[in-house]
Structure 1
């Protein structure tokens, strides 16, 4: 089977690279020697990292190669992740939403079947975005989404052919390989009470930097933790982590991991922490996947949805509603009751892992010749 995968790949986002790795690994497990081509902004690196063919994803070049790959393919996998949204500006054919839908349109022109794969849909608020969704998203041959909100939004947007099926983020099907590179990069002695911190910029929001600083300072003083910032999107998250450190009294007790580790390496590091406090969705998915209790800060419905499914929503906060004293108390409770909370998280994650692998089973059922 020949498959083309289209998504936010080759741009250094750990969550999206984890999605790609999970899709590729599970396709190879379940299909007989699949031929995989990935549309990537860094095609050489993507090819080297995953032993796949890769074509430059943007429209500036290699458009003939895109058409050739799609014509030869049996299936375009669009996803996973939050591709179809207009949080970032959508202007006619410029922006994430038009890009991914035009790839779908191009695939259909080439006679290739299309699967929206484990996608998180929305938000789609602009009139033009809604029109694009209704016209082009209905061209998909099959759709799986990672949460009920996405399914409901598709119906609201008039995307109802075909019926969408709720599964889970494919990263819950990630195949962890032992790797201690992140830990070994830090001057640690093995006795630390490690807490992973994932912070990101979010448009004009800045208050969360000082709020997190207050929480982390308090936990250093009362719980003796060693905070380690995990930058899930390269220099963007390193910069955001440094904003938090600038507000801290005990910033010299913290570490910031390098921005160039692989998703598997970050996953391995989070798996040895006592707890995660995170904004990035996939830092929380990594935590759930490895049974690590977590406090999420939700800037988007997709984060809140994940936290409800992992069983950690009652300890978490919406970005606009952070209560630092309550977060401190929640973190203290989690550190004290880590073992029992880990059992809950592991149980919920196992259910989501099965739902994530349903994406592959459904792909085989609908598209395998």
Structure 2
């Protein structure tokens, strides 16, 4: 506890680096804390502290010594700094976490291997956080996180060791919980809830009396495959980008306006590829039929998607945002998590694997989805109501597990009972 007696909570994760999905999960939990526990002191330990502070006005520090001090003037100097940083973090992390009562990892795919990663990067940093917190008596909560079975021994050990050190764990789908169980973690006390993004407020859809062409939200990503694709990463990226460009041409040729959406700053290269191709091949159409507007938060992305009619997206949280808004959606899936989400929304037939993306089939799926849109939307709205209610239960459980009480709800009960 701080001198003032307030509970000190730190968020921990890849925040401040521009990933909209990570920020959306954080924003949902931030709203929960500010609503139900308004007196708590909130900080962040993240990968981009300066940018995070700029966006949210919340104090933040870097996860690692190397992030805090930056690279050296030469490659050799940078390598030396990284090596020193790994040693320095063994002392730095426990000292850092001693300042907090609770550390929360907000709903990211922190135990997933669906994209390329190195064990000594994020997985190691996450493990060191959990171990340090245990040593200094700070609680840790992994809230609505994603997982899959890691086949690399080093990753599996880091994931399972980190999970076992946590004070609280919940998952965003049964597959994630089952994956942790298969890797040897006791998940009998862990619960499953919908993705945290379903707790975000829904923006008001714009209204217009002017007849407009139908708008498609086309969500793109820089996809280089998984760890197994490292030797052919550029080939994987080029094949995916070419197919997205081909589909964008088809949309424009058939009278659809495209709003390109992303989920990470790195996705800009695919946006540029689509823009450059249409300017070269469809110069008379591109100005009126292509919209590109950068976003900084998942809330801003949802505001953009509120104005579209149909969504075709690759990034998981692009799909989540579209479904949250009850938009007819096609998922170009790079992981099981997207497939599960589409099944939960009863849209399983409107998905494809990113590894075997077929543009002809995508066009067929798009046409079928558009034809059935009016009948699908009411069912999606009903599922969203169920997700929202489930997340309210999650927040009750989180308050009880981490803080022992929910002061806002306790006050409401006391007033109702006349106490």
**Could you say whether these structures have the same fold, taking a TM-score greater than 0.5 normalized by the shorter chain as the test?**
yes
Q: Using a 3 Å threshold, how does the CA distance of structure 1 residues 47 and 176 change in structure 2: closer, same or farther?
A: farther
Q: Which residue of 1 aligns with 2:355?
A: 320
Superposed counterparts of 1:19-30, under 5 Å = 19-30=25-36
The 1-side partners of 2:41 and 2:137 are apart by 18
Q: CA deviation at 1:193?
A: 1.5
Q: Using a 3 Å threshold, how does the CA distance of structure 1 residues 338 and 66 change in structure 2: closer, same or farther?
A: same
Please state whether the residue corresponding to 2:107 is helix, strand or coil.
Answer: strand
Please state whether the residue corresponding to 2:312 is helix, strand or coil.
Answer: strand
Post-superposition CA distance 1:96-128 (Å, at most 9, x none): 211112111111111011111110013522111
Q: Cα RMSD between the aligned structures?
A: 2.5
The 2-side partners of 1:58 and 1:260 are apart by 27
Please state whether the residue corresponding to 1:195 is helix, strand or coil.
Answer: strand
Q: CA deviation at 1:178?
A: 5.6
Q: Which residue of 2 aligns with 1:186?
A: none
Q: CA deviation at 1:250?
A: 3.7
8 Å CA contact 1:121, 1:154 repeated in 2: yes
The 1-side partners of 2:54 and 2:392 are apart by 25
1:81 aligns with 2:102: no
1:200 aligns with 2:208: no
Q: Which residue of 1 aligns with 2:271?
A: 241
8 Å CA contact 2:219, 2:312 repeated in 1: yes
8 Å CA contact 1:21, 1:50 repeated in 2: no
The 2-side partners of 1:257 and 1:58 are apart by 34
User: Structure 2: which 5+ residue stretches go unaligned?
Assistant: 1-6, 70-88, 225-232, 405-419
8 Å CA contact 1:107, 1:113 repeated in 2: yes
TM-score, with length taken from structure 2: 0.78
Q: CA deviation at 1:160?
A: 0.9
TM-score, with length taken from structure 1: 0.88
Q: Using a 3 Å threshold, how does the CA distance of structure 1 residues 78 and 327 change in structure 2: closer, same or farther?
A: same
Aligned length: 358
The 1-side partners of 2:56 and 2:125 are apart by 24
1:213 aligns with 2:245: yes
The 2-side partners of 1:293 and 1:263 are apart by 18
282-291 or 251-260, which deviates more: 251-260
Q: Which residue of 2 aligns with 1:175?
A: 201
Post-superposition CA distance 1:70-108 (Å, at most 9, x none): 2232211123111123443334xx122111121111111
* Equivalent of 2:394 in 341, 359, 365: 359
The 2-side partners of 1:268 and 1:315 are apart by 23
The 1-side partners of 2:41 and 2:372 are apart by 47
8 Å CA contact 1:196, 1:276 repeated in 2: yes
1:155 aligns with 2:181: yes
Q: Which residue of 2 aligns with 1:112?
A: 138
Q: Using a 3 Å threshold, how does the CA distance of structure 1 residues 71 and 190 change in structure 2: closer, same or farther?
A: farther
Q: Using a 3 Å threshold, how does the CA distance of structure 1 residues 100 and 179 change in structure 2: closer, same or farther?
A: farther
Please state whether the residue corresponding to 2:330 is helix, strand or coil.
Answer: strand
8 Å CA contact 1:40, 1:55 repeated in 2: yes
8 Å CA contact 2:63, 2:125 repeated in 1: no
User: Which of structures 1 and 2 has the bigger CA Rg?
Assistant: 2
Please state whether the residue corresponding to 1:313 is helix, strand or coil.
Answer: coil
8 Å CA contact 1:47, 1:53 repeated in 2: yes
1:6 aligns with 2:40: no
